[in-house]
Structure 1
Amino acid sequence: MSALRIDVWSDVVCPWCYIGKRRLESALGRFEHADEVEIHWHSFQLDPTHPKGRRTPVFETLTRKTGAPLTQVRAMTRQVTELAAAEGLSYDLERAVSVNTVDAHRLSHLAGTHGLGAEMHERLLRAHLGEGAIVDDHDTLVRLGVEVGVPEDEIRRMLDGDTYTDAVQADFDEGRRYGASGVPYFVLDRAYAVSGAQSAGTFLSALRTARANATSANR
C-alpha cells in the first residue's frame, strides 16, 4: 500500500506545536509501520494580525491577549515549560519575542526545495522557544537557514523579495479547509484530524486507525 500521509499545520512561535511535534515523534517510535509514514509540514499563523516589524515580549503579548495579570501569565507559561521539559524540550519563554512569522514560513518553504523543510521548522521552533531568537530578523533567518543547510545567497534573495508568500498563504487556506482554526493541527491520510498537542498514546491510536482503514479500503 502507499505511504500513510500526515499533514501538520504549525507555527514556529507556538509552544504547543513543538510539544505536539515531539509527541507525534514518540508515537511514531512505537508505531509498527513508521517506515511507511510521510510527514508534510504546513505553515500557519497563531496571530495573522500581528504587524510585520513589530516585536513584543511574549509575556506582554499574552497579558494583552488573555487579559490576565502578569503573575497568572507567568504561571501559565511555567506549566507549558514543564510539559515541554517532559518531552525533552528546553523552553525559555522569558526571552521569547512575538513577531509576524510569514518570513520564517517562507524560509521553511525555501528549505523544503532542498529537502530540508522539516529540519528548518524544527530549528525555527527551537530558536524562538528556547533561544530567544528574533525569527523575523533577516540576519537571524539567514543564520538559522545556513545552519540547516540552505544556501545563504538563496535565503537573502528570497527575503529581499516576496518568493513563497503565495505558498505560505496557500498553506493557511488549505489548513482552514481541513478545519484548522488553531495549531498544532494534524490530518492523517487526508481523512482523520487530530487537533492540539495530544498525548503520544492518542497519536499512536490515530495512526493505527488510519492505517487499518487505509488497508481495508485497498482490499
Structure 2
Amino acid sequence: MLVEVWSDFVCPWCYIGKRRLETALGRFEHAGDVEIVWRSFQLDPSTPPGADGPVSESLRTKYGVSAEQVVQMNERVTTLAAAEGLDYHLDTARVANTFGAHRVAHLAREHGVGPELHERLMRAHLIESVHLGTPENVVRLAAEVGVPADEARRVLDGDDYADDVRAEIDLARQFGASGVPFFVMGRTHGVSGAQPVEVFDGALAEAYRRAVAATA
C-alpha cells in the first residue's frame, strides 16, 4: 500500500506529523506492505530565492503579532515536538526558499534515499538551524545520505526536477490540500495535519482493508 506524504522541510508541524506516522507504522501489523513516498510542497512559495533571516521575525511580520507572541507560538510547537523526541530550536531557524532543496530531494529519490534526505533536511532546519536556501548546505546534507555531491550541484545550478516539484504541489491541491503535512493512504484516505497517532492508526487500517478488498 502506498502512503504519500506532502510536506516541507521548514514546516515544524510536518516533522511532528512524520514522527506520529512512524509511531503508527511501528505498531501496524501490515507495515511491511507499506511504501512511503515523500512528496514536495512549499509552505511559503512567496519566499524569495536567496532569502535569509530569522524565522521568528518572518512570523511576526506575516501574522502581525508581537515578538512575545511569536515566542509563545514557538514554545508551544517546541513542547509538542519534544513529546515526539524532537529538540527544536525555532528561535535560531533561518528563513529559506525550499524549491531547490525539493528538486534535490527528487534526485535523492532516484538514488533510493528519498526518505533519508527528507529526514536530514528537516533535522537540519528545525533542530540544527542550517540555512536550506544555501546551495552548499543542501549539497552537503544530500551527500551525507548518499547523493553524489556533483549531481546535487548540477541540479541546483540548473532547473532539473522543477516540473516534478510543481506537479506534486499541484497534485496535493487536487486532493484538496491547502497546507502541510498532508497524508494520503492508498489513494483512498487522507489525513490533514499532524494528527494524533490514533488517527493514523485508523486511517492505515481502513486504507489497507480497502486495498486488500480491491484485489480480492
TM superposition score category, shorter chain reference? over 0.9
Residue of structure 1 in register with 2:170 after alignment: 173
1:60 and 2:61 are equivalent in the alignment: no
Residue of structure 1 in register with 2:98 after alignment: 101
Q: CA deviation at 1:107?
A: 1.1
1:153 and 2:150 are equivalent in the alignment: yes
Structure 2 gaps, min length 5: none
CA distance in 1, matches of 2:29, 2:10: 32
Residue 199 of structure 2 aligns to which amino acid in structure 1? T
Residue deviations 1:120-166, cap 9 Å, x none?
01000000000110001011111101111111111111111111111
Residue 97 of structure 1 aligns to which amino acid in structure 2? R
Residue 191 of structure 1 aligns to which amino acid in structure 2? T
Q: CA deviation at 1:66?
A: 1.3
Residue 159 of structure 2 aligns to which amino acid in structure 1? D
Report the number of matched residues: 216
Q: CA deviation at 1:24?
A: 0.1
Residue of structure 2 in register with 1:47 after alignment: 44
Residue 141 of structure 2 aligns to which amino acid in structure 1? L
Q: CA deviation at 1:14?
A: 0.2
SS in 1 for 2:68: helix
1:194 and 2:188 are equivalent in the alignment: no
Q: CA deviation at 1:63?
A: 0.6
TM-score computed with the length of structure 2 as normaliser: 0.98
1:139 and 2:132 are equivalent in the alignment: no
Correspondence for 2:182 among 178, 182, 185: 185
Residue of structure 2 in register with 1:114 after alignment: 111
CA distance in 1, matches of 2:51, 2:35: 36
Correspondence for 1:29 among 12, 26, 47: 26
- Determine if contact 2:93/2:126 at 8 Å carries over to the other structure: yes
Residue of structure 2 in register with 1:76 after alignment: 73
Q: CA deviation at 1:202?
A: 0.8
Residue deviations 1:14-48, cap 9 Å, x none?
00000000000000001010000011110001111
Mean CA deviation greater in 58-67 or 19-28: 58-67
Residue 155 of structure 1 aligns to which amino acid in structure 2? A
SS in 1 for 2:190: strand
- Determine if contact 2:3/2:186 at 8 Å carries over to the other structure: yes
Percent identity reads: 56
Residue deviations 1:37-60, cap 9 Å, x none?
011110001111111111131101
CA distance in 2, matches of 1:109, 1:159: 12
Residue deviations 1:137-196, cap 9 Å, x none?
011111101111111111111111111111111111111111110000001111211000
1:90 and 2:87 are equivalent in the alignment: yes
CA distance in 2, matches of 1:212, 1:125: 32
SS in 1 for 2:147: coil
